[in-house]
Amino acid sequence: MYPYRFSNMLIGYLNLGTLLASIPIIGAGLWLAKGSTATCSSILQTPLLVIGFVVLLISLAGFVGACFHVAWALWLYLVAIMLLIAFLLGITAFGFAVTAGGGGTQIPGRPYREYHISDYSSWLQHHMQDMKYWKPALACVVGSKACAKIENWTPMDYLQHDLTPIQSGCCKPPTACQYSGGMPVGAQDEDCYRWNNAADILCYQCNSCKAGVMEQIRQDWHKISVLNVIVLVALICICACGCCAFRNARRSLSEYPYGGSMVPW
């Protein structure tokens, strides 16, 4: 009986696991694409879907190639793995580059931070200034009802509780703003004049709101970048096993082309 080599069995089990894992990844991408308000940015949905489908196809090719000694499937698998590693390296480096900076400014005596557009990368600023991207992001902010959660807060609540980046930028005026009779007094930040207490206006047109969305994107991208690093390490290990399995599959075809059995150990 021809024994399975360890590398073939290992890569078969690894790819079966990643094959099953790709299903929730694709499902999460489809869920985000249908209107999740978790990130308020569509730029996170497409990479998630692409990675899910690519992992599904690569895992299927690797599983078939390793378990059934199909050399061409393993060759295709190794090429795809290497391309995926290069893609993840590129998108991870890009993610770290465009999300550099930010983090907000701690407000003295308050538990929350406030955010400014100028603290973020020029690419991210341009992305949010473009109405093609800002309109759906703003619609998401409004639809998330983040502001409704703090609409009944008292001044004491703002001294005791933290705010999300979106709540800090979109649901209130900048803390430094001064008002008299509901009207801004003197020369102040432009956002102080854009603020309106009406529930459908608030500070949705403020630069601080765009900065809050950018901060949320920055945080989400950093999480994805950390995940990408973990996936990269796993893919490199799988690729190493794949090279061994590919070598074994070719050897089994060249040494035993007619189904001859090996001498038992």
Which pLDDT tens digit goes with each residue over 205-233?
999 999 999 998 888 778 777 777 877 78
pLDDT of 253 reads 53
For the ranges 23-32, 53-62, 131-140, 226-235, the lowest mean pLDDT is seen at 23-32
**Could you tell me how far CA 168 lies from the centroid of its own chain?**
22
Distance between CA atoms of residues 67 and 164, nearest Å: 49
Task: State the chain's mean pLDDT as an integer.
Answer: 78
Residue 154 has pLDDT above 70, yes or no: yes
Compute and round to an integer the Cα radius of gyration of the chain: 26
Secondary structure letter of residue 190 according to DSSP: H
pLDDT given for residue 212 in this prediction: 93
CA distance 80 to 62: 10
Q: Is the pLDDT of residue 144 over 60?
A: yes
CB 34 within 8 A of CB 140: no
For residue 239 the two structure tokens come to 């690729």
265 has a pLDDT exceeding 50? no
- Compute the average pLDDT of residues 153-168: 93
Rounded to two decimals, what is the model's pTM?
0.75
pLDDT of residue 94: 84
pLDDT higher than 50, residue 42: yes
Of residues 182 and 117, more confidence is placed in 117
* Better-predicted residue by pLDDT, 264 or 199: 199
Q: Half-sphere exposure (CA, 13 Å, Cβ side) for 57?
A: 11
Alpha-carbon distance of 68 to 181, in angstroms, equals: 78
Please choose, from the candidates 198, 216, 231, 207, the residue with its C-alpha nearest in 3D space to the C-alpha of residue 87.
Answer: 231
pLDDT for the residue numbered 194? 94
Q: What's the token pair of residue 39?
A: 């990130």
Question: Which position has the higher pLDDT, 112 or 185?
Answer: 112
Q: So what's the pLDDT on residue 73?
A: 66
Q: How far apart are CA 132 and CA 76, in angstroms?
A: 38
Q: Answer whether 49's CB lies under 8 Å from 29's CB.
A: yes
- Indicate the domain borders of the chain: 2-101+235-248, 111-215
Question: pLDDT of 52-100, one tens digit each?
Answer: 788 788 777 767 766 676 666 667 777 877 888 888 888 788 888 888 8
